[in-house]
Amino acid sequence: MKKMTSFSIFFILSLLSLSLASQISITIINNGEKLEPQTNWRSHDEVMGLYESWLVEHGKTYDSIGEKSKRFEIFKDNLRYIDDQNSIANSTYKLGLNKFADLTLDEYVSMYLGTRPAAVESEERISDQYLPSATDTLPISFDWRQKGAVTPVRNQGRCGSCWAFSTVSSVEAINAIVTGDLVSLSEQELVDCDTSNKGCNGGNMERAFNYKAVVGINGYKRVPANNEQALQNAVVHQVVSVGIDASSRTFQLYKSGIYTGDCGKSINHAVNVVGYGVENGVDYWIVRNSWGTNWGENGYVRMQRNVQDTAGLCAIAKWVTYPTKTASKSPLPLRTKGIVRILPQQQTCYQGNSPCSSS
């Protein structure tokens, strides 16, 4: 009887210990990474296989085994986040293992975001040209890519020069619209020579539009802030430069679909709006980025349009600017003395080999 009692007590204590250990394990996971237990997720071998394939796809190499291991842990954490976000029911967009999958959010922000919004030079810069009116009849969808006014997506590399890429894209487009000729231009002169901006350390499109070598345009104007209808009207007439808040993890890892993710209003990235549309009842902007074709939808992101916030999703309607041009203006902007056409397009951050002319 005593042996039976001792065994029963031992058995009960064992069960209690296992239960307590299980609770402690779950608590550590929840309070730490806030992720599901490993047994409910991908195996180590599967994640490592995805990592090795991703390294090959994106041509990634690291200086040391330690760095590769560190990047693997970041990659794994981003993959967990991607799986978690993609499991949300009825989401209109998907995340994926894009070129930024081995970066923390802080690293991504510091390396790739570089727009610095400008104060309005004068009230004359704010134009009512594209303010909506009762007589406006705008198409349901519109896309300047289909009208031959947009060059292929480029890659700014690890350089905070998004402002230069946005400027050049808008200038290329207005030249094409006015002259009928789409001339591909380089951002290098702006990055290297426009001293009003900071090259790879940031800048803004309005100062770039004012740069003396941008001889193909008359100047620039702003669309009144916080008005998505005015932005839509502007886009029907030309490609525009906009500033957005791209500092969210969902934007970093965006893959496809209509982006509706959480983001703020602190403008830190410059892009172009080249059109708009609607899919399954969701209105969207067609946004051209400068991170190459292996990010998003071949370098583009569709962002939700006509949201409740007047600034638009990620503040897309907060700072909208565009170059102005008459037919008499030269179709070849961004020229300096002795340079007929700016250097051929590059696919990396521009440093050295400056086209700047000192005379």
17-31 per-position pLDDT tens digit:
434 333 433 322 222
Helix (H, G, I), strand (E, B), or coil: what is residue 315? helix
Q: In the block, which residue shows the tokens 């490993």?
A: 38
Least confident stretch, 32-46, 137-151, 330-344: 330-344
Alpha-carbon distance values, 338 to 19, 195, 347, 359 (Å): 79, 20, 24, 9
Residue 39 has pLDDT above 70, yes or no: no
Asked whether the beta carbons of 336 and 185 are under 8 A apart, the reply is: no
Tell me if residue 162 is catalytic: yes
Catalytic residue of the set 159, 162, 200, 314: 162
Model confidence at 121, in pLDDT bands (50, 70, 90)?
Answer: low
Tell me if residue 269 is catalytic: yes
Beta-bridge mates of residue 143: 275
Query: By percentage, how much of the chain surpasses pLDDT 90?
Result: 68
Catalytic residue of the set 204, 233, 289, 314: 289
Asked whether the beta carbons of 39 and 45 are under 8 A apart, the reply is: no
Residue 10 has pLDDT above 50, yes or no: no
Catalytic residue of the set 78, 193, 200, 269: 269
* Mutual angle of helices 65-86 and 44-57, in 10-degree steps: 110
Residue 255 has pLDDT above 60, yes or no: yes
DSSP character string of 234-248: HHHHS-EEEEE---S
Pairing, β 254-259 against β 300-304: parallel
Model confidence at 186, in pLDDT bands (50, 70, 90)?
Answer: confident
Alpha-carbon distance values, 219 to 104, 176, 252, 321, 324 (Å): 39, 16, 33, 11, 5
Residue 258 has pLDDT above 80, yes or no: yes
The pTM of the full predicted model, rounded to 2 decimals, is 0.83
Residue 152 has pLDDT above 90, yes or no: yes
User: Residue 178's CB: how many other CB atoms inside 10 A?
Assistant: 18
* Residue pLDDT, tens place only, 324-349: 998 765 544 444 322 223 333 333 33
Residue 290 has pLDDT above 80, yes or no: yes
The closest of 96, 37, 271 to 166, measured between CA atoms, is 271
Tell me if residue 237 is catalytic: no
pLDDT at position 326 is 85
How high does pLDDT run on average in the chain? 83
- DSSP 8-state class, residue 195: T
